Every structure is written in structure tokens, then in C-alpha cells.
Amino acid sequence: MSMNREVIVTCAVTGAGDTVDKHPAIPVTPDQIADAAIEAAEAGAAIVHIHVRDPETGQGSRNLDYFRHVVKRVRAHSGDVLINLTAGMGGDLEVDDDDPSRMGPSSDMVNAETRLKHVVDLLPDIATLDCGTMNFGDGNVVYVQTPNILRAMAKRYQEVGVKPEMEVFDMGHLRFANQLIKEGLVNDPPMFQVCLGIPWGAGADTASMYAMSTQLPDNAVWAGFGIGRTQMPMVAQAALLGGHVRVGLEDNLYLEKGVYASNGTLVEKAIRIIKELGARPCSADEARAKLGIKG
């Protein structure tokens, strides 16, 4: 294992979390999300990771028209940046505390094909595959990804020619991602995102990232991130362990204590860290070549 000298920077520009009231400029409308992705690309991100939100409520959405608007606008303004669409919406299960056999009102459960409708329609370069079920947060919401759902989604990605970014939040997720590769459901080179610090997944610390990095296939292209104040320390840690990096307002709202970030300033700070370590950020074309994605 050696340090990565050519680092792909991904920017996750908005996410679907409850952050609208916690930051004065969270991208919400399709135009705002597209502009945030363009800003990140101009700051040096090779990949932009995109969720969409309901413009009225600010909540995460699976609306195909919103995704279509964002992708069209980003491609028109930043044609070389790789577009990575979330496919995570549609797996939220709120368990009723008094009657666990009932789903709570915030549940959003759909099948694999519905979760991938925007991916199949828009054919981004990359789309996410969250490789396991987990307790998400500290209440009664479970994020559900069954082995059957994951296999169906991986197979569909292969059929339409979209690279899956296998997001792993814990060691068990990584084991199942490796199983998908073993079953021939993920094309080479496999792409991983090591997601750290989310309650209740693996912690954003050196031991967790190192342990997970040692279980990746030799030909994997992997990145890692931490949420909140761990974001920039995990940028350095991922590069030192041979990985790539992710930043963005989905994962962290502050540039430093008390100073709100934008996606562009987070990308710029990550690139400064990468350069201080003696590495350099990859261009979009270089990232495409490393990931085996045709232009």
C-alpha cells in the first residue's frame, strides 16, 4: 500500500439530508444543484455526485424531471466532468416504535427498477450502489438494501453500461460488494466509496479506513470520505492510503469552524491538501481512464 499521487476528487453537492435550515445556501432547486455541480467542476472536481430535492420542501426526491434538468445543464456547461447520480432514494424504512410491523410516515420503499428509472433514462457515467442495510441515524429509520435488490441493481447497471460506485458504510457492506464482483455482476475495474462517520456505520478514523482499504480487490479504484469536521482529515488519510477523495456539502457544511463552505471552496481546500502531500488532482479525462469509462 502506497500513497496515491494522482487523486480523483469527487464533489457531492447537496445530498438528501436535513441540511437546508443548517446552511444559508444549500442547493435545492434543479438550477441551484446544477450550478453547484458546475462550480465544483470549475474548482477542480473530476466527478460530481448529484441528488435532487423537492424545490418546495427541500426534501430529497426521485423526480425524473429534476434529474433530467440538472444533468442537461451540467453537461452543457461542464461537458467533461463525470456525472455520478445517486440511486439511494427509495430504501427508507421508518419502523413504528409501538407497532414494528407497520411502516412509519417517512418510509419510502420502492423496487430496484423504480430506483434506477432516472439512471436508465439519463445514462450518467456513474451511479451509486449502497451495498448494505444499516441503522441510519439515531432514531427508528433503517436504510434497506437487500441482497436481492443489490443484485438486481448491479445487473441493470451492467445492462445499460453505467459504472456502479459501490458505497460501503461498514465491513459487511464491503464483503457483499466483493461478492457481487465474484458473481460477475460488476465490471472491472470495480469502483468503491468508503463512507465513514455516518451513524451507525464505521467511524471516520484511521483504523476504520485502513481496515476497509485492506479488504478491497487489488484492481479496485476507491475513494473515501468522512462527514462533518472529519472531512478534510479523511481527504489526507485516503490519499495516504492510496485512495481518492470526496468532499461537498452533502457531507460537511463548514470550511472551518464557524465559516460556511460552498462546494467550490471545499474542492479547493481538498486540492490544497492533496498538493501539500505531494500529489495532484486528476482531470476528468484522467479519472475516466482510471475508471474505464468511455467518453
CATH code, domain carrying 279: 3.20.20.70
Examine residue 194 and state whether it is found in any structural domain, yes or no. Answer: yes
Q: Please answer whether residues 15 and 253 qualify as being in contact, where contact means their C-beta atoms are separated by less than 8 angstroms.
A: no
Q: Please answer whether residues 25 and 261 qualify as being in contact, where contact means their C-beta atoms are separated by less than 8 angstroms.
A: no
**Mutual angle of helices 231-240 and 206-213, in 10-degree steps:** 40
Examine residue 217 and state whether it is found in any structural domain, yes or no. Answer: yes
Examine residue 179 and state whether it is found in any structural domain, yes or no. Answer: yes
Task: Please tell me the distance from the alpha carbon of residue 295 to that of residue 285, in angstroms, as a whole number.
Answer: 8
Q: Is the pTM of this model over 0.85?
A: yes
| pLDDT by 10-residue block (mean), the chain, 295 residues | 94 95 97 98 98 97 97 94 96 93 92 97 98 92 96 98 98 98 98 96 97 97 98 98 98 97 98 98 98 90
Say which residue the cell 427508507 belongs to: 92
CA dihedral 20, 271, 222, 175 (to 10 degrees): -50
pLDDT of residue 195: 98
pLDDT of residue 143: 95
Examine residue 20 and state whether it is found in any structural domain, yes or no. Answer: yes
Task: Please tell me the distance from the alpha carbon of residue 167 to that of residue 138, in angstroms, as a whole number.
Answer: 20
Nearest CA among 172, 193, 237, 205 for reference residue 88: 193
User: Which residues span the domain enclosing 135?
Assistant: 6-291
Say which residue the cell 467542476 belongs to: 41
Nearest CA among 10, 30, 28 for reference residue 19: 28
Examine residue 1 and state whether it is found in any structural domain, yes or no. Answer: no
pLDDT of residue 137: 83
Total count of domains within the chain = 1
Examine residue 220 and state whether it is found in any structural domain, yes or no. Answer: yes
For residue 206, give the amino acid letter: T
